[in-house]
Structure 1
């Protein structure tokens, strides 16, 4: 993943025939999208967070495919002509506009009736790399943003990582559930029940985070990927992101010095990196400051390196790692 000062509106997604684990489910990504088989609703998602929602809400009534293979950086996804053609066969498309330009273009050309843009299902906000600035939406455009070198900054410089806030993810889940009910009214009651169950689990997870992060020695954490603005805002934390749009690039000397001062002043113990990117930058900063390194997963994909097999397991691993780093009591 890349580090951004600002983060534009973007896409979520997923894949997998129901019943498969999150890891094996993603293996069908290369096939792109296709209509459902055996009477199932064919759902195509752009990457893991939407995949997970489709699987949890649709269960046995849906066949879920993803456009992003496990281990692939979602923002850098390029779609093949075959995938573009197959996308038109989907009954429902789930994505988050602006994160993946190739997906946006393919969706626009698909002609599919039931298209769900997750960005419309909750309120997106702008978050700067510095936690002390989060929530100041107008400042977003001043930074390079979540562009990964491709220039696809969101219209309002909005941060797309809403799934890392369980409460906002629950709002999206409700919208996805309603879309599946509309697309497949014969199974509307099941979709409604499954949505309610999932929202209940997300509400419980939100409570776990609130309780687990209320009493900590520090509220500041440093990460190579500024993906945790919503999480930080929800639970009263300050995110400090290392500058640079590439997770493997070296931070500027000025930012390095600034973060060293922040670490000392805020009693920071740990520099976080993610599973889909190199830990080189995190170790570089940690080595100069005497800090530890650990994983904080933005959950844009599940691989065998992930600290958990699905959304809930990885989020609870994130909570545990944050509690340790922040000195939770």
Structure 2
């Protein structure tokens, strides 16, 4: 059985409190005054999903900068000494530990005291290629035998999968923690942060309902993607994720893994191989050509560019839902 393993963490309430405590004051300014330019709280976010939270919750009270610029694959990000120095000037740093090693190192070297690690605001899990288990012993055994082939990659600390923002429920938990942290950092505007957080959580709850209803009845429950980023999404909505590569979308799969996926596509009635906007679609198109399958986009939402199927998190997530429904034969 491909049983999900949970990594013990502090209770969510405790994690939120810890995240908020880390922001008891803005560097270079008294709490509540805002240490950024124009009296705004300066927030440096590691990449798009973190920046989006800060912008949605902070709105006019914050100035948000992202370390990962549009079009840059977050896993490949390199940070210069100058950027590390600039990082130390931020009032608040918001990042997700274990996703971007360069950011983890820069944060540790920056001397920043006001840090929110999103990984402490929800429970991280360990996912293999498949995000959900239907109890098929042969299927599970196939994963165990293939683990050495390089498709069940370690995602970070203790193998925890960092792609939590692709699950609206977990993303909402992180939003609550970020909101509480900003309230603590800038108490003069705490009521606004609370209101904005509640609105964002409400939108994420509605999105969760859309996914539940939209993926309730489908002809297939298995999808193939280049990047092992959708374990939480698959887990949440009872789907099977089969990834060509691991956490690194640019890594080359082994011939054995490609052959395994060809067989699985036939067995599980898979119609589509998904690729993403920020990484090469070469392996997805090769697999699709070899198996007679179609290709489509499933966006891990690590960044927004002019090629994205939407202008923000919600638009791209709804495009993902539409593409999944089409590929899985939603009824």
- Judge same fold: TM > 0.5, yes or no: yes
Shift of 1:256: 1.8
Give the alignment of 1:251-290 within 5 angstroms. 251-290=253-292
- Structure 1 residue 144 displacement after superposition: 7.2
- The alpha-carbon deviation at position 132 of structure 1 amounts to 5.3
| Partner residue, 1:122 | 122
**TM superposition shift of 1:126:** 0.7
The alpha-carbon deviation at position 252 of structure 1 amounts to 2.3
Structure 1: gaps of 5 or more residues: 1-7, 9-34, 148-152
Question: Which of 230, 233, 245 is matched with 1:231 structurally?
Answer: 233
Residue-pair matches, total: 290
Report the Cα distance in structure 2 between the residues aligned to 1:113 and 1:248, rounded to whole angstroms: 34
Q: TM-score, normalised by structure 1?
A: 0.83
Match for residue 220 of structure 2?
Answer: 218
CA–CA separation in structure 1 for the residues paired with 2:153 and 2:79: 20
| 1:109 and 2:109 are equivalent in the alignment | yes
Offset of 1:250 from its aligned partner?
A: 4.7
**Contact 1:174/1:199 (CA < 8 Å) preserved in 2?**
yes
2-side partners of 1:244 and 1:63: how far apart?
34
Range that drifts further, 159-168 or 75-84: 75-84
Equivalent positions of 1:1-329 (< 5 A) are: 36-131=36-131, 154-243=156-245, 247-248=249-250, 250-329=252-331
Instruction: Report the 3-state secondary structure (helix = DSSP H, G, I; strand = E; otherwise coil) of the residue aligned with 2:233.
Output: helix
Preserved CA contact (<8 Å) 1:79 1:102: yes
Does the CA-based 8 Å contact 2:273-2:294 persist in structure 1?
A: yes
Q: CA RMSD of the aligned region, Å?
A: 2.4
Pairwise CA distance, 1:113: 2.5
1:155 deviates by 2.0
Q: Distance in 1 between matches of 2:126 and 2:111?
A: 31
Deviations 1:280-301 (A, max 9, x none): 1111000011000000000000
- TM-score w.r.t. length of structure 2: 0.82
Contact kept in structure 2, 1:127 and 1:134, CA below 8 Å? no
Structure 2: gaps spanning 5 or more residues = 1-6, 8-34
